Amino acid sequence: FEKNGRGSATIRTARQAFEYLKDMRDFPKEQLRGIYLNSRHRVVHDEVISLGSVNANIIHPREVFRPALEHGAVALLVAHNHPSGDPQPSAEDIRVTHQLMDAGKVLGIDFLDHLVVVPHKFASIISLLGLR
């Protein structure tokens, strides 16, 4: 990702998002983060949406999209870590990704990706499903 002059990051790719999210790679519990972007793909807000147990996290579209509406974001992506170290998305991760894509369409907010991050790699669920 690139930093602009005011200190906010510009994120255009899953790889840039993974670099931006390096602080959550080794977290011992699942953490869901939302990264909210303006029309130039600059981060306008970054929030921990929820904390889960060692292997579970509950994701509701209203919790994901509320900060987008509050901060005037036009696009967003979410990421969560897998403490197990396996970046393979679960069936629930895939289900939630579809749900978030649908919610974004209804709200007019571009849902860019759902990443699963582990210490040295990541999985883009959108890319894995061939949805972009």
In residues, how long is the chain? 132
Quick: pLDDT tens for 10-45: 999 999 999 999 999 888 888 999 999 999 999 999
Look up residue 95 and give its two tokens.
């289900």
Quick: pLDDT tens for 49-69: 988 755 556 678 999 999 999
pLDDT value for 5:
44
pLDDT value for 53:
58
- Amino acid in position 4: N
- Residue-wise burial string across 46-76, b where 16 or more C-beta atoms lie within 10 A, e elsewhere: bbebbebeeeebebebeebbebbeebebebb
